[in-house]
């Protein structure tokens, strides 16, 4: 799966591609967007219409290797998260959190593989 297909997937889910970063043998892709109730696109991740009644930001990371998607995970942030920050800083914080989560996943996977 190439970066164009990943971008298309993000956009269909209402996410804007924000970052592509190389981490070891993997490419990490991060998209960010906003979901309003009833959050239909995210029901399969356990987010229901009663959750985030004012909406939420969704920051999704995917890891890919050799142009093939491997795994990914959405992170959900309340619409009013970190009120002490401006909009731009909030977005950077979400993206950095998603990157940290993806790197943590890859680190854990590596440790499990090494320990059999």
pTM comes to: 0.88
Q: How far apart are CA 6 and CA 95, in angstroms?
A: 17
> Is 108's pLDDT higher than 70?
yes
Show me where the domains of the chain are located: 3-111
Q: Please state, in angstroms and rounded to a whole number, the distance separating the CA atoms of residues 112 and 116.
A: 6
What is the 8-class DSSP label of residue 20?
A: E
| Per-residue model confidence (pLDDT) at position 9 | 81
pLDDT for res 1: 61
Structure confidence at residue 116 as a pLDDT band (50, 70, 90): low
């Amino acid at each position: 799966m190439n970066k164009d297909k990943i971008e298309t997937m993000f956009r269909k889910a209402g996410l804007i591609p924000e970052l592509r970063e190389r981490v070891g043998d993997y490419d990490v892709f991060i998209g960010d967007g906003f979901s309003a109730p009833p959050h239909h696109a995210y029901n399969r991740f356990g987010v229901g219409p009663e959750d985030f009644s004012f909406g939420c930001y969704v920051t999704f990371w995917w890891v890919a290797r050799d142009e093939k998607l491997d795994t990914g995970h959405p992170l959900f942030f309340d619409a009013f998260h970190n009120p002490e920050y401006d909009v731009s800083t909030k977005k950077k914080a979400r993206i950095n959190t998603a990157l940290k989560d993806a790197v943590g996943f890859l680190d854990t996977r590596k440790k499990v593989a090494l320990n059999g």
